[in-house]
Chain A
């Protein structure tokens, strides 16, 4: 069965997340977006775990669904066009902060639990060594290696996925807080890792340039801190609709269950370029090299972004492909597309209303972004948006790259172009 999965999100119990990030809203927004399997996030947090136990019930093997009586009132709100099956898979992200070789490492890691029992074991173990109650993404002074060990001891069928592996400050390969190789970080246990998350600031081709990543399959998730950010990136599977199906697709090198990934334009990610946000210095890695890495604003070293970091560790040229490569499609979230078409802010009321209207006419967001005939979009939302989505599908967008924690900005239309498109069409 073909399905879309977003396997890195957070709950309301994580820091800096939306208060309505609960199971009901995940269920609702997964359908708006067109996601069939969504991570629970934060399963180690005692309160969230309790909610999972209370509100979910087992569905397909290793997957869970919202209890019927909770789902019903939400179903009534969802446009017929968007209705779909939503399952939850137990996920958590741990912030491992520890010293290795006299350097402070900050590595974020994802764990997917094969069952409630396995999740409980991990929770008990981590609870015995650290504080798991103040943050849904707990900070532990525990080596990533030890976390992986704990996870494997809880159940060999759990999955370990180093999160957004290029993020400068908090990732396995990050320029500031990470290692130069997965082996350095995970040693002899590296072979128990099957997948890595590329993060918003890198796309698959960037990752293909590293031989050391050949054994891993690349996955993409939203890392959403609010329900509306679900599916910023996601994975398309075509396999058995179960934990086992997903496990096999990630772990078995011959399995073709993971079909493709949906990706941010990497330039739009927060750490694509180098620079200093506070000094408003945004540099292409070449400029960084020219300036010897020193910020022209404050004189301190700039935050080295993902592009430069990949370049530094790459050992293959730009046209290389990794052994486990999959096709991918760059996407821009639909609200951003609408905002660009209307030349208004993403958060504006008009954009929000248009979003809901388009969804109820055409279907879920992924359908609109990926598959919906352009003519249908024209009829439902006008020519400019249809043209925008067409350009997005072809990768014809301009982006001012993100840097040092600042998202990049997307530009699809030149000034005056929108009017031009409308006028042109009026002639026909």
Chain B
């Protein structure tokens, strides 16, 4: 079979690969989803009757997009299960309900419905459930589980753990292995050990696993993701082949170079020749930083009122503002509101997306009747998998990026990866802004620029100051005074 024109050599190699497990290392913008969907479509003809494909995505949104892409490639939906780990495991619990120890009327509980437990305790329990295969329960844990059981609830973490328990029944496991001859896992770098154990059970005895991801984009360690599983793929799944996609189709070469420098010399091949622009802006305060962002957006939009117009290349939907902590969105939304710029804050919806199964999601998802363009505000975590022509990362300051505030500290490597994920969302314009003084959680902090900024070569950076427009004399207003 000849290489189709819409795949490059290494993508085609990955699509066409046969005879072993496969790990595809795919950096940002290298056509990860494209390659994965093409590979799924490619193996479909080799399925025997009653055989299916299991494809695991990181979010429900990604699952929907993959379904759409496969449908347009002519793949019948009946041959596929596409969903998140949580979605798939919940399906197992329902399909094999009589083999579980769950109450008959069990219901998946959302975090909002849980009352009477401190957030700290819930976080600790959740962390235990996603990082330990065998848990030695303490009193809090026992009490929490009793609470769930009393209400016939299971939480999101339990969906996975109960499914793993189910799969320890070898009959069920082998039945599933016969059914799902191919398993595909997207964003493999963010797999936790429970998910990994599930894959180990299903991905053997002739079942072929294809995992795709990028170790440099592993950012969910705080939730139990284990990037070392990515590096251990060859030992876990035998025999396995590792292929790498290196050609980037997303970002302007200069932006790609800059993100590579931050990630310690990662070198992807720039396939676009777009003119990129990386702007560093230092503001006096977090408030001034927000004003700068809002003004730049107005400028990029070619002006929003009659007197400031220029040609616009970008729509509101082309622009994203990313930040380390959700609390940083407050000043930004105020500044955007002041200029009348439409925006949406995405982190809440995204969180639900990641965890919830289709049913839970169905209740929360608003049917979008119209496509309304808005500037996206979201955490760096929520930006995973997305791309925008214009990206602002605000708060590029030490102690925020990397995060190191009282009671909030994350691994240095993961913070760097998070910043890398943010930078690599940008296609043409990347603004990295920082403030000298910032109010955060009631404290006024004097901030130094993020150390990551120094990793970017000077010739790639443009420093921009805030231009203060003198207030325009309004002839109408003048006339009004006189009349």
Listed in ascending order, the chain A residues whose CB lies under 8 Å from chain B are: 15-18, 20, 95, 97-99, 104, 106, 129-131, 133-135, 138-143, 146, 150, 167-170, 176-177, 225-229, 270, 301, 303, 346-349, 352, 355, 405
Residue of B nearest to A164 (CB): B306
Query: Which residues of chain B come closer than 8 Å to A229, judged between CB atoms?
Result: 476
CA distance A405 to B476 in the complex (A): 14
- B199 CB–A CB distance under 8 Å: no
Return 18 A-B CB contacts under 8 Å, by A number.
A16-B307, A97-B315, A98-B316, A99-B318, A104-B301, A104-B302, A106-B302, A130-B374, A143-B370, A150-B370, A168-B309, A170-B309, A227-B480, A227-B483, A228-B476, A303-B309, A355-B483, A405-B306
Interface Cβ pair total, 8 Å cutoff:
110
B340 touches A142 (CB 8 A): no
A228-B479 contact given A139-B304, A170-B306, CB 8 Å threshold:
yes
Residue of B nearest to A150 (CB): B370
A139 touches B474 (CB 8 A): no
Query: Which residues of chain B come closer than 8 Å to A170, judged between CB atoms?
Result: 306, 309
Query: Which residues of chain A come closer than 8 Å to B150, judged between CB atoms?
Result: none
A106-B337 contact given A18-B477, A129-B370, CB 8 Å threshold:
no
Query: Which residues of chain B come closer than 8 Å to A227, judged between CB atoms?
Result: 480, 483
A130 touches B372 (CB 8 A): yes
A contact patch SS: loop
B315 touches A141 (CB 8 A): yes
Which of B301, B303, B316, B480 has the largest count of A CB atoms less than 10 A from its CB? B480
A16 touches B341 (CB 8 A): no
CA distance A349 to B307 in the complex (A): 28
B483 touches A139 (CB 8 A): no
- B371 CB–A CB distance under 8 Å: yes
Residue of A nearest to B366 (CB): A128
Query: Which residues of chain A come closer than 8 Å to B314, judged between CB atoms?
Result: 104
A139 touches B477 (CB 8 A): no
CA distance A140 to B483 in the complex (A): 34
**In the A-B complex, the 4 residue pairs with the closest CB atoms:** A141-B373, A169-B309, A99-B315, A104-B312
Closest Cβ–Cβ distance, residue B131 to chain A (whole Å): 41
- B260 CB–A CB distance under 8 Å: no
CA distance A20 to B313 in the complex (A): 37
Chain B: interface residue total (CB-CB under 8 A): 37
B contact patch SS: loop
Query: Which residues of chain A come closer than 8 Å to B312, judged between CB atoms?
Result: 104, 106, 177
B371 touches A143 (CB 8 A): yes
CA distance A104 to B310 in the complex (A): 11
A226 touches B309 (CB 8 A): no
A141-B317 contact given A15-B305, A18-B477, A104-B312, CB 8 Å threshold:
yes
The listed residue (A18, A134, A138, A167) touching B338 by CB distance below 8 A is A134
- Interface digits, B340-373 against A, CB 8 Å rule (1 contact, 0 not)? 1111000000000000000000000000001111
Query: Which residues of chain B come closer than 8 Å to A405, judged between CB atoms?
Result: 306-307, 309
B337 touches A134 (CB 8 A): yes
B316 touches A97 (CB 8 A): yes
Which of A140, A141, A228, A229 has the largest count of B CB atoms less than 10 A from its CB? A141
- B104 CB–A CB distance under 8 Å: no
B342 touches A131 (CB 8 A): yes
Closest Cβ–Cβ distance, residue B304 to chain A (whole Å): 6
Closest Cβ–Cβ distance, residue A292 to chain B (whole Å): 17
B340 touches A139 (CB 8 A): yes
Residue of A nearest to B339 (CB): A134
CA distance A176 to B302 in the complex (A): 10
Query: Which residues of chain B come closer than 8 Å to A226, judged between CB atoms?
Result: 476-477, 479-480
Which of A17, A18, A168 has the largest count of B CB atoms less than 10 A from its CB? A18
A129-B372 contact given A104-B313, A134-B337, CB 8 Å threshold:
yes
- B465 CB–A CB distance under 8 Å: no
CA distance A250 to B370 in the complex (A): 28
CA distance A2 to B480 in the complex (A): 30
Closest Cβ–Cβ distance, residue A302 to chain B (whole Å): 12
- Interface digits, B318-334 against A, CB 8 Å rule (1 contact, 0 not)? 10000000000000000
CA distance A348 to B479 in the complex (A): 9
Query: Which residues of chain A come closer than 8 Å to B48, judged between CB atoms?
Result: none
Query: Which residues of chain B come closer than 8 Å to A140, judged between CB atoms?
Result: 342, 372
Residue of B nearest to A104 (CB): B312
Residue of A nearest to B478 (CB): A347
Query: Which residues of chain A come closer than 8 Å to B483, judged between CB atoms?
Result: 227-228, 352, 355
Query: Which residues of chain A come closer than 8 Å to B302, judged between CB atoms?
Result: 104, 106, 169
Which of B305, B340, B370 has the largest count of A CB atoms less than 10 A from its CB? B340
- B101 CB–A CB distance under 8 Å: no
CA distance A150 to B478 in the complex (A): 38
B474 touches A16 (CB 8 A): yes
